[in-house]
Structure 1
Amino acid sequence: MGNNNSLGGGNALRKHVETATKTGVLQYDNRKLKEVDPSLCLPGLRTLSLNDNELQTIPPQIGLMVNLKNLSLRNNQISQLPDCFGQLKKLENIQLGQNQLCTLPTSFANLSGLRQLTLCNNQFTTIPDSLLKLNNLQLLDLSGNRITQIPDQIQTLQVDELNLNDNRITKISEHIRLCPRLKTLRLDRNHLSLDIIPVGLLTDSNLSLLSYEGNRFDEKAFQGKEGYDQYMQRFTANRRKLE
Structure 2
Amino acid sequence: MGNNAIKAHLENSQKTGIFQLTGKGLPEVTPFNCCGYSSLPDEIGKLKKLETLLLNGNHLTQLPSTVGQLKALRILSLSGNKFREFPAGLGSLRHLDVLDLSKNHIQAVPAEVAALQAIEINLNQNQISVVSAEVSTCQRLKVLRLEENCLELTSIPVSILTTSQVSLLSVECNLFEVKIMRDLEGYEKYMERFTATKKKFA
Give % identity: 39
d(CA) in 1 for partners of 2:25, 2:7: 25
d(CA) in 1 for partners of 2:55, 2:195: 33
Please, which of 45, 59, 64 is the counterpart of residue 19 of structure 2? 59
Work out whether 1:230 is the aligned partner of 2:166.
no
Q: Which has the larger radius of gyration?
A: 1
Work out whether 1:68 is the aligned partner of 2:45.
no
CA contact (8 A) 2:23 2:44 kept: no
Partner of 1:208: 167
What's the offset of the Cα at 1:186?
0.3
Partner of 1:219: 178
5 Å matches for 1:26-105?
Answer: 26-27=3-4, 34-36=11-13, 57=17, 59-60=19-20, 62-65=21-24, 68-105=27-64
What's the offset of the Cα at 1:119?
0.2
The gaps in structure 1 that reach 5 residues or longer are 1-23, 37-53
Partner of 1:3: none
Work out whether 1:25 is the aligned partner of 2:2.
yes
d(CA) in 1 for partners of 2:151, 2:16: 34
How many residues matched? 201
Question: What whole-Å deviation, never above 9, does each CA across 1:80-131 have from its counterpart, x for those lacking one?
Answer: 1100110101000111000000011100000000011110000001111121
CA contact (8 A) 2:90 2:116 kept: yes
CA contact (8 A) 1:78 1:101 kept: yes
Amino acid at match of 1:35: N
d(CA) in 2 for partners of 1:228, 1:214: 19
Question: What whole-Å deviation, never above 9, does each CA across 1:152-201 have from its counterpart, x for those lacking one?
Answer: 11110110000000000010111111001000000000000111100001
What is the TM-score with the length of structure 1 in the denominator?
0.78
Amino acid at match of 2:183: G
- The higher-RCO structure (CA 8 Å, 6+ apart) is 2
The gaps in structure 2 that reach 5 residues or longer are none
Partner of 1:142: 101
Amino acid at match of 1:25: G
RMSD (Å), alpha carbons: 1.9
d(CA) in 1 for partners of 2:77, 2:89: 14
d(CA) in 1 for partners of 2:23, 2:179: 54
